[in-house]
């Protein structure tokens, strides 16, 4: 790490990616192996950020029942009846362990319009239409308006959405921390490739200590 890539804990936001019931719960229609096991570590990160009232953004997917907003690679499945993160369904909800309170529910209409849904003093939900949390969203400007220059990334299925989010954060000159043991689907080569572009890789224990320092 040098002065250009070193992450700043006092200017950091946490991004949790796609930690929704359909992708997480055992037996869910689109369960991603390893996500449920990683949730307790994600929760520790969320709690560390909440304790500092530092920004937390839970980034989610929502697939309309007619498939009109779904990625091409999944559109046929949704069009023919796959019920995955459908707006208003229990499967689309953030997993219980990451909610700031049990009564939090996604406002699907608001989210699909591109708005941020506040769920805590410094905590929001955000819908992303594709792999990256930055693609066709207002996330970059939202973070910059809060003096955030560092993002901490964890969540569901590293090869797809977390990894793409990391690369697009790098393209926008954010400093980045990636937490592999709080992310499902990680692999050694992929993590090394992140390090090669200046990403700080921290396990949950280290990341929590870093945030709390």
Tell whether 69 is covered by a domain: no
Tell whether 124 is covered by a domain: yes
Q: Pick from 123, 120, 153, 134: which is nearest to 17 by CA?
A: 153
Cβ atoms of residues 19 and 94 within 8 Å = yes
Q: Pick from 97, 116, 114, 115: which is nearest to 45 by CA?
A: 97
Tell whether 142 is covered by a domain: yes
> What percent of the chain shows pLDDT beyond 90?
99
Total domains present in the chain: 1
pLDDT at 137: 99
22-65 per-position pLDDT tens digit? 999 999 999 999 999 999 999 999 999 999 999 999 999 999 99
177: domain CATH number? 3.40.50.850
What's the pTM?
0.98
Tell whether 26 is covered by a domain: no
pLDDT at 80: 93
Tell whether 179 is covered by a domain: yes
pLDDT at 88: 97
State mean pLDDT over 174-194. Answer: 98
Range of the structural domain that residue 44 is part of: 9-21+37-62+94-212
Tell whether 1 is covered by a domain: no
Tell whether 187 is covered by a domain: yes
82-138 per-position pLDDT tens digit? 999 999 999 999 999 999 999 999 999 999 999 999 999 999 999 999 999 999 999
Tell whether 28 is covered by a domain: no
Please report, to the nearest 10 degrees, the dihedral formed by the alpha carbons of residues 14, 201, 179, 158 taken in order.
Answer: 110
pLDDT at 1: 83
């Amino acid at each position: 790490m040098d002065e250009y890539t070193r992450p700043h804990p006092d200017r950091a936001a946490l991004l949790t990616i796609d930690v929704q019931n359909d992708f997480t719960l055992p037996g869910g229609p689109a369960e991603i192996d390893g996500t449920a096991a990683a949730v307790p570590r994600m929760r520790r990160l969320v709690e560390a950020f909440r304790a500092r009232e530092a920004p937390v953004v839970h980034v989610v997917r929502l697939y309309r029942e007619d498939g009109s907003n779904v990625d091409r690679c999944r559109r046929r499945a949704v069009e023919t009846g796959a019920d995955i993160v459908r707006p208003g369904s229990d499967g689309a909800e953030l997993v219980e362990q990451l909610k700031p309170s049990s009564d939090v529910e996604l406002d699907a209409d608001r989210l699909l319009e591109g708005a941020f849904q506040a769920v805590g003093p410094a905590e929001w939900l955000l819908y992303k239409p594709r792999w990256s949390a930055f693609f066709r969203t207002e996330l970059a400007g939202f973070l910059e308006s809060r003096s955030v220059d560092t993002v901490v990334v964890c969540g569901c299925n590293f090869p797809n959405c977390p990894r793409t989010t990391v690369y697009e954060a790098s393209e926008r000159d954010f400093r980045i921390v990636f937490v592999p043991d709080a992310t499902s689907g990680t692999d050694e080569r992929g993590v090394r490739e992140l390090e090669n572009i200046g990403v700080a890789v921290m396990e949950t224990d280290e990341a929590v200590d870093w945030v709390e320092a």
